[in-house]
Structure 1
């Protein structure tokens, strides 16, 4: 099977060397030396010349011409040696200049950190690689590879560690693309690849799967192991474009779709995706202003005691009250906030707003907030949360942070350190969406969790499915044995709540009790709940 042969970088031609004056000096000096040598040679073979010179010197002895001629000969030799030395020196300078220009051209086309080709170089070689692939009966695809959790590495550990991570990523991608194409770095945490594959086979699909898998493996730098992950967008020549800039743009659009839907995966470009990309870019640009104007606000969903039906607390959920697009749910903007480093400031701002609304709550009410894996790597988070609680007079034990199972398999040691600091401060820790990820008994034992939240996928249809009910019962028995509270998510009918209470589940939430509400509607809900309980 033929493979694309990638040409080496072109050597700059002498015409590009910007030293015409020095070149002319060298040529002129060499010509003078040659002429002088020729004249000297001619004179040395002319008897009449030396005879005339002897007669002239004898008739003008008072002039001491013998000394003058001797000096002249010595000076000529010295000048000849100096001229030769200068010629050698100029040749070295010109060679150094040529080498510097070649290095400048290489740097202009390659990333300084990783040594990979840059965007400019990828554009230069695109056409020739496509032609070579077509001649070999193969096709070409363009991939855009964007790292998912790279920004926290720089923020928390410094740029030196970030550089080490980028070099490891470059090495992995280069190894995967070897013999199939070329990998480039566009800057920051974005890479691209120009790959060839055999049409009519799953070669490209398998290669993309390998890239996603390799990027998900832990990267170790400066003694710390971390999972970065990557989202990959793919555009195929000529279906998705025939020019490099079009293919890269479409691969970029596909990559943003991965970011919005399920990071750590890949997506092939499809027509119509660009409208979604434009919307994402627009929302990213509007996010800071939306936070300042309080367009991104907390909504609260009540958590109830399944035995009494009374409200015992709330879970805080983000909503974007967009002036043109209406109410946007978290899946439209949370990933963008995380990618741009704005998630923690957003979470703290929403918590402050929720604290303002909690002034009139009973002192037993709790508040739950969701934290992304990247936030659990920030050692400053516990003190930031405690500062907000202290200013609002909200006791730390009334706050519960919810983490997903994904966070437990990514840099476990660092997550444990942050959770331990939260627990020492009195803040409770809950494991959200239990049963949908990678949790095991090890995590439950090591993290000393306060609450397990059973995922709605097990709760829905539990009354009709014996298997789902058996899973829920097993989780409840496990949590009871470990002394962990349980909260059932997604309760949408009374019978479900009653069955869960019968099985021993303490708390629940779902649309049967209430949908998430804006802050101004919470006090009214609390009042109505009290009346219902009083009349029961």
Structure 2
């Protein structure tokens, strides 16, 4: 009973004491705020009137200035001589057309004879067809009539300060402009003309983006621009521009200067704080319980959000994705929803982490998430599964969206540079796509298929999207088979071999060396393409054993043909090994090959790794006399900036450029630029993939040092390359491969 009475007493006290105080506070606050808002609106209105008067004055000044501009050209003896007395097109073009555009900002200038026929037309600094005069003929003719009806010319001294010109506002080809005309007269008075026989100069100053930017900058109009339609938005003002006939020509819109609102924003918090202090005392008493309950609820929701979302990006995490995927698959079976899963993995993300730091890597991950979200929209689910891996789940009723278009847009967006801590980072994206068929499928199986498609995208050169097909599962199994068979082949001596493709001096067409190429002939599968087993070797750690095998065979050949350059490709995995340099020198010592005859070919990805071990190994090789060549030049990122940092003796122009070499093709200019850059840095150039005499001829004119390709020879056996070396007294034209 006491508790009930106590509650009634508290409510009675609130009603009799607090309620009048609250009402008085609210009434006072309403009155004060009403006065403040009225004052704010009045101040802003006065500011608007001042700005409107200013823009009216500025526009009129621009119009008057056009007359002075025309006077600076028209009121001259040489203008009269070169236009009317002896028409000189070059003089008119330089002193009327180009001058008025370059120094006076006129977008169009016209020279008319006494009958109003155009003799010269300039548009944006370029002489134009006389027929283009028709776009402004009506306005000019009206102004010429007005000009000729004016009183006789003023004395020369006064004419210089008060030009006799006719101006007006008009639309020219849908663009607002100030148009003016002026008669060509003598500034000395020595050349006289019959009244009405003067030639006319007409000029148009377009009220375009450049004019609005200059006006906004000089007179501090924020975000001002000219427009043909009055579409005022909140916070913006517009001023109508009328011609002399009272017709609307354009509007000038700008962001209003609102000092009243600024004052309100500055003083408002103080006023609100004053009333809030009194109100808080009451609100605290009544709202304490609700705040406590709200805090508990917010804590619960935050904990749930943290458990289901990635802390770095705020995107759903793997646990949330798994739950959402299972629910989506269930809805798909019940409602026939079209469902597609995209698995995305960043290319070259490790290089960003290693070179710019983990903070930059975190910022990159967040930026990637934002770019993906901007493309897929709010309906699709985007989750970060961990590291640089994302998942996108797209569901829709009816027709399935074209996920390949979406994927390509994502790849294009991520391919643009990222600004991270004053550095530009370049990454790519590989995407695997799987569409859910009508048959039931488990979430894990769906993710596995998307991962298979993602693997195919990476194996296909990265930075692309691949849709899962059933035969890809067989390819994955084949990868495992290749790995096992390659391990076995590395233990044997009857499957792996090395072929040698000749390198020719471009000028003499004589063989100066050869590139060692790995070959694998399997007793069951036959000749296995390097494009199939080399990536498997790199992904499984077998590349070091395979690379050692090729290097040893190459050095064995090099020891028998001193003075010939033998090139060997090395992988980033080999170069990152601190023991790799020792291994190379041991093989050179065991085979007896001279270090200066060995050339190690690296790819741009090694330079981008920027690892200390790789850089140290490269410098060690260079100090020992071993040559370093940069393979597939021009297909990666940042090649130019790294050429100075790393010791490179040769660059090899990628076959994708060589294959397109033809007179007039853009690849000619690109390739020439590469050759010129390399020679400027004292680096030799090899072109690979030369297949036609036309390509060889173009490369010769460019000054390319070395050629390589099927035009001369493919990869040949050790015996065949030795025979070619012995026959090197004669230029090599073409041999079988």
Shorter-chain TM-score tier = 0.5 to 0.7
SS at match of 1:232: strand
Aligned residue among 300, 314, 327 for 2:500? 300
Query: Residue 133 of structure 1: CA displacement?
Result: 7.2
SS at match of 1:327: strand
Partners of 2:498 and 2:717 within 8 A in 1? yes
Aligned to 2:523: 323
Aligned to 1:334: 534
SS at match of 1:307: coil
1:142 paired with 2:341, answer: yes
Partners of 2:675 and 2:685 within 8 A in 1? yes
Judged with a 3 Å threshold, the aligned counterparts in structure 2 of structure 1 residues 204 and 357 are, in CA distance, closer, same or farther, namely closer
Partners of 1:149 and 1:339 within 8 A in 2? no
Residues 385-434 of structure 1 deviation map (CA, whole Å, 9 limit, x = unaligned): 22222222222222212223343334376654442233223221112222
Judged with a 3 Å threshold, the aligned counterparts in structure 2 of structure 1 residues 210 and 413 are, in CA distance, closer, same or farther, namely farther
Q: Compare relative contact order (CA 8 Å, sep 6+) and give the higher one, 1 or 2.
A: 1
Partners of 2:687 and 2:708 within 8 A in 1? yes
C-alpha distance in structure 2 between counterparts of 1:378 and 1:240, whole Å: 48
Judged with a 3 Å threshold, the aligned counterparts in structure 2 of structure 1 residues 214 and 313 are, in CA distance, closer, same or farther, namely same
Partners of 1:212 and 1:231 within 8 A in 2? no
Aligned residue among 578, 594, 598 for 1:399? 598
Aligned to 1:280: 479
Partners of 1:216 and 1:230 within 8 A in 2? no
Judged with a 3 Å threshold, the aligned counterparts in structure 2 of structure 1 residues 436 and 128 are, in CA distance, closer, same or farther, namely closer
Partners of 2:556 and 2:593 within 8 A in 1? no
Partners of 1:260 and 1:336 within 8 A in 2? no
C-alpha distance in structure 1 between counterparts of 2:715 and 2:650, whole Å: 21
Residues 222-248 of structure 1 deviation map (CA, whole Å, 9 limit, x = unaligned): xxx999976432212236863324423
Aligned to 2:556: 356
Partners of 1:138 and 1:196 within 8 A in 2? no
Query: Residue 183 of structure 1: CA displacement?
Result: 4.9
Judged with a 3 Å threshold, the aligned counterparts in structure 2 of structure 1 residues 183 and 509 are, in CA distance, closer, same or farther, namely same
SS at match of 2:713: coil
Q: Structure 1 unaligned segments of length 5 or more: list them.
A: 1-106
1:238 paired with 2:456, answer: no
Judged with a 3 Å threshold, the aligned counterparts in structure 2 of structure 1 residues 381 and 232 are, in CA distance, closer, same or farther, namely farther
Judged with a 3 Å threshold, the aligned counterparts in structure 2 of structure 1 residues 147 and 239 are, in CA distance, closer, same or farther, namely farther
Aligned to 2:63: none
SS at match of 2:601: strand
Query: Residue 117 of structure 1: CA displacement?
Result: 7.4
C-alpha distance in structure 2 between counterparts of 1:144 and 1:359, whole Å: 50
SS at match of 2:441: coil
Q: Structure 2 unaligned segments of length 5 or more: list them.
A: 1-306, 311-315, 733-737
Judged with a 3 Å threshold, the aligned counterparts in structure 2 of structure 1 residues 267 and 513 are, in CA distance, closer, same or farther, namely same
Aligned to 2:446: 247
Residues 60-82 of structure 1 deviation map (CA, whole Å, 9 limit, x = unaligned): xxxxxxxxxxxxxxxxxxxxxxx
Residues 350-394 of structure 1 deviation map (CA, whole Å, 9 limit, x = unaligned): 111222333321x10111122334544444332322222222222
Query: Residue 167 of structure 1: CA displacement?
Result: 9.6
Aligned residue among 551, 559, 564 for 1:365? 564
Partners of 1:260 and 1:332 within 8 A in 2? no
1:195 paired with 2:401, answer: no
Aligned to 1:39: none
Aligned length: 417
C-alpha distance in structure 1 between counterparts of 2:415 and 2:337, whole Å: 26
Aligned residue among 249, 264, 289 for 2:488? 289
Partners of 1:305 and 1:507 within 8 A in 2? yes
C-alpha distance in structure 2 between counterparts of 1:341 and 1:216, whole Å: 32
Residues 433-486 of structure 1 deviation map (CA, whole Å, 9 limit, x = unaligned): 223333454223332421122223333353544644444433333333222112
Judged with a 3 Å threshold, the aligned counterparts in structure 2 of structure 1 residues 166 and 520 are, in CA distance, closer, same or farther, namely farther
C-alpha distance in structure 1 between counterparts of 2:695 and 2:729, whole Å: 22
Partners of 1:133 and 1:196 within 8 A in 2? no
C-alpha distance in structure 2 between counterparts of 1:211 and 1:459, whole Å: 26
C-alpha distance in structure 2 between counterparts of 1:151 and 1:472, whole Å: 30
SS at match of 2:712: coil
SS at match of 1:517: coil
Partners of 2:343 and 2:392 within 8 A in 1? no
Judged with a 3 Å threshold, the aligned counterparts in structure 2 of structure 1 residues 146 and 434 are, in CA distance, closer, same or farther, namely closer
Judged with a 3 Å threshold, the aligned counterparts in structure 2 of structure 1 residues 191 and 321 are, in CA distance, closer, same or farther, namely same
Residues 197-237 of structure 1 deviation map (CA, whole Å, 9 limit, x = unaligned): 4465567864786589769999x9xxxx9999764322122
Residues 133-282 of structure 1 aligned to structure 2 (within 5 Å):
139-144=338-343, 180-181=380-381, 183=383, 193=391, 195-198=393-396, 201=401, 206=406, 210=410, 231-238=430-437, 242-282=441-481
SS at match of 2:644: helix
C-alpha distance in structure 1 between counterparts of 2:349 and 2:541, whole Å: 10
Judged with a 3 Å threshold, the aligned counterparts in structure 2 of structure 1 residues 289 and 170 are, in CA distance, closer, same or farther, namely farther
C-alpha distance in structure 1 between counterparts of 2:581 and 2:425, whole Å: 21
Aligned to 1:477: 676
TM (norm. structure 2) is: 0.47
C-alpha distance in structure 1 between counterparts of 2:448 and 2:583, whole Å: 40
Segment of structure 1 superposing worse, 457-466 or 310-319? 457-466
TM (norm. structure 1) is: 0.62
Query: Residue 302 of structure 1: CA displacement?
Result: 0.9
Residues 242-293 of structure 1 deviation map (CA, whole Å, 9 limit, x = unaligned): 3324423422331232232123433121343333333222212222112222
Query: Residue 524 of structure 1: CA displacement?
Result: 2.7
Residues 77-106 of structure 1 deviation map (CA, whole Å, 9 limit, x = unaligned): xxxxxxxxxxxxxxxxxxxxxxxxxxxxxx
Judged with a 3 Å threshold, the aligned counterparts in structure 2 of structure 1 residues 495 and 408 are, in CA distance, closer, same or farther, namely same
Judged with a 3 Å threshold, the aligned counterparts in structure 2 of structure 1 residues 148 and 299 are, in CA distance, closer, same or farther, namely farther
Partners of 1:145 and 1:233 within 8 A in 2? yes
C-alpha distance in structure 2 between counterparts of 1:320 and 1:259, whole Å: 23
